[in-house]
């Protein structure tokens, strides 16, 4: 049985810019210090969709954890519209990981509403907002389903709704479709674009898949090997709204090839459509 709730305002807060200044992360290991990235700087404009790519192990996930406040950098700082991030700030930065990490004993509606429950929001309000976001991700008919009854793509859509429910100004996505088959992955990419256009959030999207990076983003940031620095910032000059037909254009191929060749030149095995 589905829960019928009145529509809610999906996007309340305005998108925010992200400023990364001289960010350094060093891990202490048994063999000595391991520098993941060193004095990395990057600005992301409000409302932009930015993809981050680079060879495996270059620190993409570590960078996203530092941006989210879940991991403290060794040096440097992250700011959202000029305000420093020193710890988790879900009202500023929402995070969606590769695994949906849904609570198996809770319904879809309760999974999405859970962050608001932790904040003490009333049951009525959190269910209204959860239902609104489930409508946004086209899962209104599955509010009372449980995670075990969902496909992989549906679970990720629930995770996206849960990531949006606290109305973060920036959405950080760490390879959210890596575990999905190619067809589902392409459909989910189109879904993310639709949601981005509806919510106007700033999105920073980490991926190994170069086709996905070019198709989704306004700009692709290419990271080098450890200690990672920004090798290139590739502006994606493809019209929006995007359709799958864009992948067959000469411009699309040129942009993807430019990114791929830089990664290949680092001596690692990556391919243009690698997952």
In a domain, residue 149? The reply is: no
Domain range for 250 is 18-101+170-264
10 has pLDDT over 70: no
The predicted pLDDT at position 180 comes to 83
In a domain, residue 45? The reply is: yes
Percent of the chain clearing pLDDT 70 (strictly above):
92
What is the spatial distance between Cα 41 and Cα 18, in angstroms, rounded to a whole number? 11
In a domain, residue 24? The reply is: yes
In a domain, residue 205? The reply is: yes
* Residue 247 and residue 211 in contact, taking contact as beta carbons nearer than 8 Å: yes
What is the spatial distance between Cα 177 and Cα 207, in angstroms, rounded to a whole number? 9
4 has pLDDT over 60: no
Residues 96-155 have pLDDT tens digits of 998 889 999 999 999 999 999 988 899 999 999 999 999 988 999 999 999 999 999 899
Structure tokens at 257: 């090839």
**CATH code, 92:** 3.40.50.300
In a domain, residue 1? The reply is: no
The predicted pLDDT at position 267 comes to 62
Average pLDDT over the chain, rounded to an integer? 88
- Residue 200 CA, distance from chain mean position: 14
| Of 221 and 99, more confident | 221
Q: How many domains does the chain have?
A: 1
Residue range 244-261: mean pLDDT, rounded: 94
The predicted pLDDT at position 74 comes to 94
How many helices (DSSP H) and strands (DSSP E) are in the chain? 7, 10
Which residue(s) pair with 21 in the sheet?
A: 77
Structure tokens at 271: 């391919």
Residues 64-91 have pLDDT tens digits of 999 999 999 999 999 999 899 988 888 8
In a domain, residue 13? The reply is: no
In a domain, residue 147? The reply is: no
In a domain, residue 46? The reply is: yes
The predicted pLDDT at position 154 comes to 92
């Amino acid at each position: 049985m589905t829960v019928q709730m009145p529509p809610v305002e999906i996007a309340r807060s305005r998108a925010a810019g992200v400023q990364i200044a001289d960010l350094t992360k060093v891990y202490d290991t048994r063999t000595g210090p391991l520098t993941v990235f060193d004095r990395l700087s990057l600005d992301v404009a409000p409302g932009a969709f930015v993809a981050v790519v680079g060879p495996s192990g270059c620190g993409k996930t570590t960078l996203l954890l530092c941006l989210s406040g879940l991991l403290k950098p060794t040096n440097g700082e992250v700011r959202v519209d000029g305000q420093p991030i020193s710890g988790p700030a879900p009202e500023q930065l929402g995070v969606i990981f590769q695994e949906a990490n849904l609570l198996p004993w809770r319904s879809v509606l309760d999974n999405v509403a859970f962050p608001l429950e932790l904040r003490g929001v009333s049951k009525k309000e959190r269910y209204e907002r959860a239902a609104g976001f489930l409508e946004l991700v086209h899962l209104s008919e599955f509010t009372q389903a449980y995670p075990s009854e969902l496909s992989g793509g549906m679970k990720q859509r629930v995770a996206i709704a849960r990531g949006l429910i606290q109305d973060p100004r920036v959405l950080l996505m760490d390879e959210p479709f890596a575990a999905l088959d190619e067809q589902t992955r392409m459909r989910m990419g189109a879904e993310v674009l639709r949601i981005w256009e509806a919510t106007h959030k700033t999105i920073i999207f980490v991926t190994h898949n170069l086709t996905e990076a070019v198709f989704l983003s306004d700009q692709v940031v290419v990271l080098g090997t450890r200690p990672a620095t920004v090798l290139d910032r590739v502006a994606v000059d493809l019209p929006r709204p995007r359709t799958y037909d864009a992948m067959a254009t000469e411009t699309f191929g040129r942009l993807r090839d430019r990114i791929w060749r830089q990664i290949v030149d680092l001596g690692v095995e990556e391919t243009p459509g690698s997952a």
